[in-house]
Structures are given as C-alpha cells and as structure tokens.
A = this chain, B = another copy of it.
Amino acid sequence: MLNQNVSNTVAALPCTSCLRHSACLGACVQDAVGAEGENACITTMTLQRGQPLFRAGDAVDAVYIVQSGALKSRRHSYNGEEEIVAFRLPGDSVGLDAIGNREHGTEAVALCSTRVCQVPLTTLRREVHASPAVASHLLDDLGREIGQLQEHLRDERRTAQVRIAAFLLAQLQRRRRLFGAQIDRFTLPMTRIDVGRFLGLATETVSRMFTRLQTDGVIACEGNSVQVLDSTMLARLADVAESFQPLARVA
C-alpha cells in the first residue's frame, strides 16, 4: 500500500520520542545506561515494505523494538514454503527468539513502512547485570514471547472460523493495550496470504471465513480495514464456540 521510497536510514534519534516509551525494553536499557551513552546505545531505522530487518543465519547482535508499522517473523519449511511464526506490532520486541543462539533461526520482514529501535546485544547483556530493571524487563518480554507461542499452539485443534475470530480478537486486544482508541475499527497490516501462513490455513479458507463473518454481521471489512460490528459474537466464536456442551471441568 504505502510504498514510499524510504531508504534504510540509521539515525541517532533520542528514544524518548517514542510513544511506547514506558513499556519499551530499549527505553529501559537507555535509562539504565544514562543519558550520556544515549547516542552510542539506541539507534532507530526505517524499513520499507518487504525489507528484512535480519535474515535467518545472520549473527544475533541486536534486539529490536517496533515503534510503528509491522513485521512478520518467518522461516521456510523444507519444501520452501513460508511459515510465519509471529507478527510484530508496535511495542513488540523482535529477535528475542534467537537469544541463546548465535544465529537467527527466523527472519523478520517489514509488512509496511516500519520504524524500529535497535538495542545492541552487548549493551543489553551488560545492563542485564547492572540493572535489575533491565533484567526484569527482558524476562517479561521473553515470557510474553513464550506466552504468545503457547497461545498460538491452541490453534492446532480449532476450526478455521474459530482461528480467524481468535486472530482478530488478538489483534484487537493488542491494539487496545497499545493505544486506547480504535478498538472496533482497524487496519490489518498483513495480507490474507500472511494470515493463512500464520494460522496454518489455505488463503482461500481465510477469505471464506472473512466473508462468512461478514454475512453473519459480525464484522464489516473492505480490503484490509476491518470493523467489528458484534464484538460479543466475535468473542463467543473465538472462546465459547467450543464449549456449548455442559462443560465438565477436568480434575
């Protein structure tokens, strides 16, 4: 969509200009480092659509935080097909999944014009020891990463419609957390193809589920802009849809 010719700029912008400052690992590191080390620590860069932040096999030398835009973390299966492991939205850390490794196992690609904040790994490792706040923040982000993956595993047993509903809700919930507005109307930064490769569904199935949700009056969408008309029904589809039975809790 917005495919301006923005080059891969690296600037020493102050991280304090970031909207997500309070919840940002990078900002936390910067506070620990102190103002004097500002320029040596945090840098920002802008990626255009399709541009990789890092590739699989690249050395792990930094962690990134999304300031605006969106990325997908992906890898390729043995037959060469794209598998999307996670979408990275503003406030998310990128590259944490390679911590403990020398090389990245996945690659991160911008879905649209995207600004990220870079924290060198040497700085991060140093501050983990120096600052309890940084260590705590890092563990929080890692825990979030694990939690999201575990949540994603739920999809294994779900039907296509439930997966789509849960996916939309996840997008909603995360956006609700980040901002405080635009709850019922937002724009998906990823294509239907991306959604399919994230959820393990064929593109056609994704499309069909979107149209079904539309005909059922749950959502209205035009292209990638989605409006939630009946959030109650959407939540019911995502959660309770599986438990219309008396639901006896297992001991």
Contacts and interface: CB of A to CB of B under 8 A. Distances in A.
Interface in A130-188: 132, 135, 139-147, 149-150, 152-157
A38 interface: no
- Secondary structure class of chain A's binding surface, majority of residues: helix
Interface of A: 76-83, 85, 96-101, 105-106, 125, 128-129, 132, 135, 139-147, 149-150, 152-157, 199-200, 239-240, 242-243, 245, 247-250
| Copies of this protein, total | 2
A81 B98 CA distance: 32
Given A85-B150, A100-B141, 8 more contacts: A76-B250, A78-B243, A80-B248, A81-B157, A128-B135, A142-B146, A153-B153, A156-B200
Given A143-B98, A156-B200, A249 B76 contact: yes
Nearest to A151: B105
A156 B135 CA distance: 33
A135 B138 CA distance: 12
A250 to B, nearest CB: 5
Contact of A97 (B96, B132, B150): B150
B149 A153 contact: yes
